[in-house]
Structure 1
Amino acid sequence: MNNNLMRLHPYPFAKMATLLANSAPAPAYTEIKLGIGEPKHKPPTFVLDALQENLDKLCRYPTTNGTFELRQTIAHWLEKRFFLHHVDANTEVLPVMGTREAIFSFVQAVVSHDENTAKLEDKTDNKPCDPIVVMPNPFYQIYEGAAILAQAAPYFVPCTLDNDFKGNYRTVPKDIWQQTQLLFVCSPNNPTGSVMTMDDWEFLIRLSDKYGFIIASDECYSELYFDKAPIGLLQACAELGRNDFKNCVVFHSLSKRSNLPGLRSGFIAGDETILKSYLQYRTYQGCAMPIPHQIASIAAWQDEKHVAHNRALYQEKFALWMAELGELLDLRMPEAGFYFWVKVPEQFDGDDEVFVKVLYEQANIHALAGRYLSREVNGKNPGQGYVRIALVASVEESREAIERIRKLLTEHTKSSV
């Protein structure tokens, strides 16, 4: 067995299961799940119809790089959404079976152990160094797990209130950048909902030019915005005149955009040199999207009406939570996404584990302890004291959850006086 498997942390939901193992949900209430970021809105019917109508094509092996029709549809979507002059469907787009799998395999493909010392100009002891993968903290745990199994060292950039919950990359030391081969950025961020600005992107792109690392932007929540569509990495490249997207790739998915997490459909796009090598890796990996999924995906990427409707539902729920609980709970309106990154109320001593247990035991509401999405850096876990609440339930369930939380907070405030 790979010894690095022993270094992997339990997944956040496994930690939650352990935390609640000896707890019982409030018997007076039905269960409301706000812990897992699984969309619950209705998938678009026309996409399901396209899938159903093409099931006979399961008799054919799909190619690793997908059909030209799917790649072309994705290229056109990228051009329109991010104001790009041209995206080459043959060299700059690669469909994948969901971004979770793609992010993991991408790290295995790009991390190299051959040139570690060559990048360290100031190093004098001639000892080999582990390649570094830089990532935000809190983060999507696939970033860390993929880095560990690629025998790279994760380096965590804390996302806290004082840096708008998106991380201050200017604090990363020079020697870390010298060893860095890959930087993960999540914008809009999971779980904080923060969005990168053009200035943020330009700073990271200039760093990439200087040190030669790849920027991988996880943009799976990019279409769940409220006022203004977030700037993506490829858009930032285009604004800087970098139309070859050098050392830059993005990951997108239909899971959140179109409420199709089970379709396992997404793509990676950007630097054609990187994608050429990654395609070769995936060919050996044997990972290809079934043709019916590809046809259904084309239908989804070509339609924006269902996406606008999806956004409107989330906007309604966020507005409801802010209006009804904003005075009792420290709710920070995210810039995009479908998560609240909630500071734990004082009556629970700022303890995220205690708060999620109380929500479960007294209100039968599932939430996720923030510390489980983060790692301790310099003695501090930036997720500790926060709880992630996913507004994936229906509007009706949201109203019910609000009433339960209001009652719980009121009762705990009284009991603490």
Structure 2
Amino acid sequence: MNSLLSLLKPYPFERLRQLFTDVTPNPAFKPISLGLGEPRHATPQLIADAMMAAITRTPSGLASYPATAGEPALREAFAQWLTRRYSLQLDPATQMLPVLGSREALFALAQTVVNRPANAADPKPLVVCPNPFYQIYEGAALLSGAEPYYVASDPARNFAPDWASVPAAVWQRTQLLIVCSPGNPTGAVMPLSEWQMLFELSDQFGFVIGSDECYSEIYFRDEPPLSGLQAAAQLGRHDFKNLIALTSLSKRSNVPGMRSGFVSGDAALIKSFLLYRTYHGSAMSPVVQAASIAAWQDEDHVVENRALYRTKFAQVTPLLSQVLNVALPDAGFYLWADVAGDDATFARELYAHYNVTVLPGSFLARTAQGSNPGLGRIRMALVADTAECLEAAQRIVEFVKARKA
């Protein structure tokens, strides 16, 4: 067996299941889960229609192996979306590839980029990532033979990771930096000044930047979140050197079950990424490609989806802020709340008394540089409809008030 598998830690949801093992939730309340960040708004009909049309057409394409690079029409749809959304001009043939959702792409990127030392006695390469984080960052780093280095999100900086705190000795060993903007779970969006700092560090030390942008289309400010590619172009880095951006339809278009997204950026990295994926066996079904083209070409459903989240957050956030230290994030569909105590105990007791599931913040982070930045916080995914989220919020208010009584 691969000995690196022993380094993997249980996923947050497995830890949550263990936390609740001996708890019987109050049967007076129907279960409501704010724990899983899975989009639950309706899938747009135009995407379903495109998929059905692809299945029933002759030929459907299902009788042939799809190309790992995807159909030219799909890559052109990616390029057109990047132009509309970010005013970018990238080459569909050399600077983008379809992926089966950002999760598998993040894993594959680390396997492509990380170069293990020839001498086993030499220090392992580093993959730098935010803390708290999406756990695939850690797993991808470990299974590539690297070590993760965690950079804490700073409440004083709108929960943005403090990249400036990373020592030069760490950057010297870094081969991949994973950034998440808008962030999970904090919703923080990186400004241009921080992108400039990271690009300069990448130039100095030679590491690749993987920009996880799967929450880019759910935002609450007037200014849409800045893409890493957009930042690079604004700073004159039109070759997108050592930069790969990853995005997905899961959140944007409410199709997590379709497993569809794309990567774009540095043509040299894309070439190596394609080589890896050719062996990895991750070509996208022609039916999914057809549905993806329809999704990327339409913005009306994205605007409607964003409006649903804005309405929901505008009602839920003020209600919860009566009893918790919580504020509207820049973007994403999570609330990152300070519970002024032990986060695991809070989640366990809330589930027991009010049948509401939230995710302890400490489960999403690691203890690094002497602290766990998720301690004392919970993540709430407002993915259900507004009425269900409001009911959950009202129960949380009652729960917190009862605890303080």
Is TM (by shorter chain) over 0.5?
Answer: yes
The one of 207, 212, 228 equivalent to 2:206 is 212
Q: Which residue identity is paired with 1:25?
A: P
- Off by >3 Å, runs of 4+ in structure 1: 114-117
Shift of 1:58: 2.1
Shift of 1:398: 1.3
Q: Which residue identity is paired with 2:5?
A: L
The separation in 1 between residues aligned to 2:62 and 2:358, in whole angstroms, is 38
Report the counterpart of residue 28 of structure 1 in structure 2.
Answer: 28
Report the counterpart of residue 165 of structure 1 in structure 2.
Answer: 159
Report the counterpart of residue 397 of structure 1 in structure 2.
Answer: 388
The separation in 1 between residues aligned to 2:152 and 2:323, in whole angstroms, is 27
* 8 Å contact kept, 1:116–1:179: no
Report the counterpart of residue 183 of structure 2 in structure 1.
Answer: 189
SS of corresponding position for 1:158: strand
The one of 220, 245, 248 equivalent to 2:243 is 248
Give a deviation string over 1:278-318, Cα, whole Å, max 9, x none: 10110011111100100000000011111111111111111
The separation in 2 between residues aligned to 1:258 and 1:20, in whole angstroms, is 32
Report the counterpart of residue 355 of structure 2 in structure 1.
Answer: 364
Report the counterpart of residue 110 of structure 1 in structure 2.
Answer: 113
* 8 Å contact kept, 1:30–1:364: yes
The question of 1:89 aligning with 2:83 is answered no
The separation in 2 between residues aligned to 1:166 and 1:137, in whole angstroms, is 10
The separation in 2 between residues aligned to 1:171 and 1:265, in whole angstroms, is 35
- Unaligned regions of 5+ residues in structure 1, if any? 118-126
Aligned Cα root-mean-square deviation (Å): 1.3
Q: Which residue identity is paired with 2:122?
A: P
Structure 2 counterparts to residues 10-409 of structure 1, below 5 A: 10-55=10-55, 56-84=60-88, 86-114=89-117, 128-227=122-221, 228-344=223-339, 346=340, 350-409=341-400
Q: Which residue identity is paired with 2:46?
A: F
Give a deviation string over 1:298-357, Cα, whole Å, max 9, x none: 00001111111111111111111123222222112100000000101x4xxx10001111
The separation in 2 between residues aligned to 1:382 and 1:402, in whole angstroms, is 24
Shift of 1:162: 2.4
* 8 Å contact kept, 2:343–2:362: yes
SS of corresponding position for 1:159: strand
SS of corresponding position for 1:298: helix
Shift of 1:116: 8.8
The separation in 2 between residues aligned to 1:176 and 1:410, in whole angstroms, is 45
Shift of 1:115: 7.5
SS of corresponding position for 1:57: coil
- Unaligned regions of 5+ residues in structure 2, if any? none
* 8 Å contact kept, 2:322–2:397: no
Structure 1, 321-330 or 105-114: larger mean CA deviation: 321-330
Q: Which residue identity is paired with 2:267?
A: E
Q: Which residue identity is paired with 1:49?
A: D
The separation in 2 between residues aligned to 1:116 and 1:375, in whole angstroms, is 29
* 8 Å contact kept, 1:133–1:155: yes
SS of corresponding position for 1:181: strand
SS of corresponding position for 1:330: coil
Give a deviation string over 1:341-380, Cα, whole Å, max 9, x none: 0101x4xxx1000111112111111110111110001331
Query: Identical aligned pairs, as a percentage?
Result: 49
Report the counterpart of residue 124 of structure 1 in structure 2.
Answer: none
The separation in 2 between residues aligned to 1:46 and 1:90, in whole angstroms, is 26
The separation in 1 between residues aligned to 2:119 and 2:343, in whole angstroms, is 39
The separation in 2 between residues aligned to 1:142 and 1:26, in whole angstroms, is 33
Q: Which residue identity is paired with 1:287?
A: S
The separation in 1 between residues aligned to 2:214 and 2:61, in whole angstroms, is 28
* 8 Å contact kept, 2:117–2:124: no
* 8 Å contact kept, 1:116–1:131: no
The separation in 2 between residues aligned to 1:298 and 1:258, in whole angstroms, is 12
Q: Which residue identity is paired with 1:246?
A: K
Q: Report the TM-score when normalising by structure 1.
A: 0.94
Q: Which residue identity is paired with 2:73?
A: E
The separation in 1 between residues aligned to 2:22 and 2:342, in whole angstroms, is 18
Shift of 1:410: 2.1
Give a deviation string over 1:80-101, Cα, whole Å, max 9, x none: 21121x1100000100011101
Report the counterpart of residue 2 of structure 1 in structure 2.
Answer: 2
The separation in 2 between residues aligned to 1:201 and 1:152, in whole angstroms, is 24
The separation in 2 between residues aligned to 1:115 and 1:177, in whole angstroms, is 20
Shift of 1:396: 1.2
